[in-house]
Structure 1
Amino acid sequence: MSGYWKNPAATADAIRDGWYWSGDVAVRDACGFYRIVDRSKELIKYKGFPIAPAEVEAVLLEHSAVRDCGVIGRKDDDAGEVPIAFIVAKDNVPTDGRLILELCGFVAERLTSYKQPREVRFVSSIPRNPSGKILRKDLRTQL
């Protein structure tokens, strides 16, 4: 890639030392395969530790009471940012304190402590664009 058409600023951001930087965040599994987990712009930085919202969302979606979810970072004076989870519960699931405790325990069994949401909010839907990606800026308006 030689650059973006008539956009030298975007080219300078994307190409460094001759390499294209996509902004994707990948992890390598035990078999040596790489998997794209998120975009670097969406990473939550908790006390210097990066948290991929998609990783937390994947765990939450494993819970039987969760139909959909989205995770964003909220500014925090001590930590920089903290993860906040927005949950769409399945039909007929009571969205009360017991479910919040259950979800927090569920995530705690699967993720290290700094990746665990510091707050859970129940919503009727997660805003998405036409291709299905979460509109995190729209979630931020609900903070």
Structure 2
Amino acid sequence: MKVLIVSDTHGRHAGIEEAIEREYPFQKLIHLGDAEGYEEYIAELAECPIEIVAGNNDFFSDLPDEKIIFIEDFCALITHGHAYGVSMGYQNIRNEGRVRGVDAVMFGHTHRPLLEEDDDLILLNPGSLSYPRQRGRQRSYIVMEKERGKKPTFEIRYLDD
């Protein structure tokens, strides 16, 4: 199963349209917040099941702040991350993932890609497809590949290569 993981599109569609075109076909799309009212548009673009949570800029959204999802036997907490202070560090969100017993915590908010894999927890942030903030400011996303019964793999990919 191929999963496209994105965040922080902020109502700008060029990046997500390009990522979807590049990675098609995939079986699931995960958006980690700050879609800014365009969740239906994104769902139509994806043409597959979508999981999405609210970000700090999704002011009038009915989206949940976080969810626990399963991708086959792999369990992930998805959240935007602002409620865990991820701009100041990852200890709070790491602790939350361990307390909840998930395999991964997926979050956005910082607009910087991150992939940290420990023995007991994976932290990942796809960065932003609209307003990247890391050195080089490349628009980024993550592709997850999950084969039944095997550990998933993750790769940060950039649109601006």
* TM-score, L = length of structure 2: 0.25
**Which fold has the larger relative contact order, with Cα–Cα distance below 8 Å and residues 6 or more apart in sequence?**
2
Which structure would you say has the larger Rg?
Answer: 1
- Greater helix fraction, Structure 1 or Structure 2: 1
Q: TM-score, normalised by structure 1?
A: 0.27
